[in-house]
């Protein structure tokens, strides 16, 4: 399974997603520091909410295979920059959580995540389990390894390296 790096606002559901992906019952655990779990790297929401420490997310993300930009479907405002994908050489996916809530606004959050550069977007509920299987299946797919020659060719032609 590819290791998923998670970042997004406080209470967006990053830790709950880690539990849901493992089929565990949800139990609240405030993330106080970066946790390199077996399937995810879970970060505290405060990192993306603070201009002073947001850049730390870039270096922490390098231990992962896929970057997951996580946003709850009922979030009132957007903390992600357009073109945010520029900080990484990993594939970046958007994960919309809390789609079970009555005030979920999936089209709005989808637009924020697309603008950030997410190539694929998954809508999930950690509470009901909706959408979790699709995300897990995606993470279980291991893309074929490229040769150094192929990577060099992509770099020369300005293509992203994934």
Ligand X SMILES: Nc1nc2c(ncn2[C@@H]2O[C@H](COP(=O)(O)OP(=O)(O)OP(=O)(O)O)[C@@H](O)[C@H]2O)c(=O)[nH]1
- Can you give the binding site for ligand X, defined by CB under 6 A? 10-16, 26, 28, 30-31, 44-45, 97-98, 100-101, 125-127
* 43 binding Mg ion? (CB under 5 A): no
Q: Which of 4, 15, 48, 109 binds Mg ion (CB under 5 A)?
A: 15
d(CA 162, CA 145): 10
Eight-state DSSP code of residue 38: S
Query: What is the C-alpha to C-alpha distance for residues 101 and 80, in angstroms, rounded to an integer?
Result: 22
Please tell me what DSSP assigns to residue 133: H
Closest CA to 101 of 130, 78, 77: 130
Q: Given the rule CB under 5 A, which of 28-36, 71-79, 97-105, 137-145 is the region that contacts Mg ion?
A: 28-36
Which of ligand X, Mg ion, none binds 90 (CB below 5-8 Å, type-dependent)?
Answer: none
Cα–Cα distance, 42 to 60 (Å, whole number): 10
Cβ of residue 65: shortest distance to Mg ion, in angstroms? 20
For ligand X, the closer of residues 39 and 151 by Cβ is 39
CB of 97 to ligand X, least distance (A): 4
Report the alpha-carbon distance of residue 100 to residue 120 in Å, rounded.
20
CB of 15 to Mg ion, least distance (A): 3
Q: Which residues pair with 95 in a beta bridge?
A: 70, 122
Minimum gap (Å) between residue 28 Cβ and Mg ion: 9
Q: Choose the binding region for Mg ion from 13-21, 55-63, 130-138, 145-153 (rule: CB under 5 A).
A: 13-21
Minimum Å distance from CB 160 to ligand X? Answer: 27
Structure tokens, 4: 């998923």
CA distances from 59 to 36, 54, 64, 84 (A): 13, 10, 10, 14
């Amino acid at each position: 399974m590819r290791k998923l790096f998670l970042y997004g606002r406080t209470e967006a559901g990053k830790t709950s997603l880690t539990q849901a992906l493992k089929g565990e019952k949800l139990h609240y655990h405030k993330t106080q520091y970066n946790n390199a779990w077996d399937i995810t790297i879970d970060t505290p929401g405060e990192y993306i909410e603070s201009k002073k420490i947001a850049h730390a997310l870039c270096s922490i993300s390098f231990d992962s295979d896929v970057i997951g930009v996580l946003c709850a479907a009922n979030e009132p405002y957007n903390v992600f920059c357009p073109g945010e994908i520029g900080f990484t050489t990993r594939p970046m996916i958007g994960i919309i959580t809390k789609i079970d809530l009555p005030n979920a606004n999936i089209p709005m959050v989808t637009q924020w995540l697309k603008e950030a550069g997410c190539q694929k977007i998954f809508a999930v509920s950690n509470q009901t389990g909706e959408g979790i299987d699709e995300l897990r299946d995606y993470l279980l797919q291991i893309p074929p390894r490229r040769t150094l020659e192929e990577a060099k060719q992509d770099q020369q032609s300005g293509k992203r390296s994934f």
